[in-house]
A = this chain, B = another copy of it.
């Protein structure tokens, strides 16, 4: 059975993403940090990894882009996961018993409207992950605490869901990369994640983007990254979607003449961005 490393513990959104891509037939390997996720892959202790790369509300995880590059890992796929939050308690605990809410700080912020409306100035405790908050609540049998997290963590840790969909923004999603140590070519790709550096002259980036446009290649993401120590130079993370690999290859060939360096993080099949139906 394939082994897939994720950051966090079983029941987390990372497990949701890994299951959406690989199905039930893989073993999930829990890691404390994203660095550990990459280390296991680098040492061939797992066959693949799933790593969050951006969230539609919180933005990109730049540190994870840096890890990809440090470990020379390859993006072989992507997963979009609709982020739905639930209010969970130890079985039998009632809504009126809740004195504290535990979750990851970003999850707490994403549910702040619901919390304000139903609990006012209740005590919030920040935990390092949503599934960890659920696990602790179950283990300690807290009778006055609710955790906020995904459905899977309620199921795994035997919690009762008091309310579903307590997130403020109903269309929030997180995008994950599927990573591999090895760069085996994938047939029929239609998306690529690349990173490049431009020279420092007016319109340097415009020139590169014009090449993509001329070759019918759509940008689905662009983000500049300051290069530390070089105040006027930038690195760009760009995602491209293309209909034919020929167009893509022609464009990359032309772009190479207009950048100071270019790295292809991966060429893969684009993930389904349709939000899961409730």
Q: Which residues of A contact B (CB under 8 A)?
A: 33, 35, 56-63, 66, 105, 109, 112, 126-128, 169, 171, 202-207, 209-210, 212-214, 216-224, 226, 228-229, 231-232, 234, 236, 273
Contact = CB atoms under 8 A, between A and B. Distances in A.
A205 B222 contact: yes
The binding surface of chain A is classed by DSSP as: mixed
Contacts of A229: 171
A255 B212 CA distance: 20
Nearest to A63: B57
Contact of A59 (B62, B127, B204): B62
Contacts of A221: 224
6 contacts: A58-B63, A60-B60, A202-B216, A206-B209, A207-B210, A210-B210
How many copies of the polypeptide does the oligomer hold? 2
Given A128-B105, A171-B228, A210-B210, A59 B57 contact: no
Contact of A222 (B61, B63, B222): B222
A59 B206 CA distance: 23
Contact of A126 (B63, B127, B210): B127
A57 to B, nearest CB: 6
Given A126-B126, A203-B212, 15 more contacts: A56-B228, A57-B62, A59-B59, A59-B63, A59-B223, A126-B127, A171-B228, A202-B213, A203-B210, A204-B213, A206-B210, A206-B213, A219-B224, A222-B222, A231-B273
A126 B234 CA distance: 32
Contacts of A212: 202-203, 206
Given A60-B59, A209-B203, A223 B226 contact: no
Contacts of A224: 219-223
A224 B223 CA distance: 6
Contacts of A209: 203, 205-206, 209
A59 B65 CA distance: 11
Contacts of A213: 202-207
Nearest to A200: B218
